[in-house]
């Protein structure tokens, strides 16, 4: 850089500092407060909140009790000297005579 450029930059910097010093000042002001009427605040009630009542409890009916009676017991076989085949009683001689005589003679 040449000397003229450095001198120009130096003068510009000095001018910048001089402007800042020239702008410095002290101000004194007097203010008179004027009362202003402000309207009172307006309060608005919120919208009502609707709370639905809870639903009634569910109606539950107990089913009728189930009564299971055991069926009649049918025991097929000999009962003493008679034989029950599920339909009728047979005497011992009648049974053997009707169903083939296992040791008995047919009468």
Asked if the structure places residue 4 within a domain, the reply is no
Asked if the structure places residue 39 within a domain, the reply is no
Asked if the structure places residue 80 within a domain, the reply is yes
Res. 65 pLDDT band, cuts 50 70 90 = very high
> Residue 26: its pLDDT value, please?
75
Which domain range does residue 95 map to? 73-107
| pTM, 2 dp | 0.26
Asked if the structure places residue 15 within a domain, the reply is no
Asked if the structure places residue 28 within a domain, the reply is no
How far apart are the C-alpha atoms of 100 and 26, rounded to whole Å? 148
> Residue 1: its pLDDT value, please?
60
Asked if the structure places residue 25 within a domain, the reply is no
Query: Is the per-residue pLDDT at 46 higher than 80?
Result: yes
Asked if the structure places residue 86 within a domain, the reply is yes
Percent of the chain with pLDDT over 70: 84
Domain count across the chain: 1
- Strands 82-84 and 89-91, by their bridges, are antiparallel
Read off the DSSP letter of residue 49. Answer: P
How high is the mean pLDDT of the chain? 80
Asked if the structure places residue 52 within a domain, the reply is no
Res. 86 pLDDT band, cuts 50 70 90 = confident
């Amino acid at each position: 850089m040449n000397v003229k450029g450095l001198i120009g930059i130096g003068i510009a910097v000095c001018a910048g500092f001089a402007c800042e010093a020239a702008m410095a000042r002290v101000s004194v002001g007097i203010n008179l407060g004027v009362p202003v009427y402000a309207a009172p605040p307006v309060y608005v009630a919120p919208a009502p909140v609707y709370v639905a009542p809870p639903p009634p409890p569910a109606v539950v009916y107990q089913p009728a009790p189930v009564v299971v009676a055991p069926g009649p017991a049918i025991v097929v076989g000999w009962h003493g000297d008679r034989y029950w085949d599920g339909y009728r009683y047979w005497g011992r001689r009648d049974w053997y005579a009707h169903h083939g005589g296992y040791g008995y003679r047919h009468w």
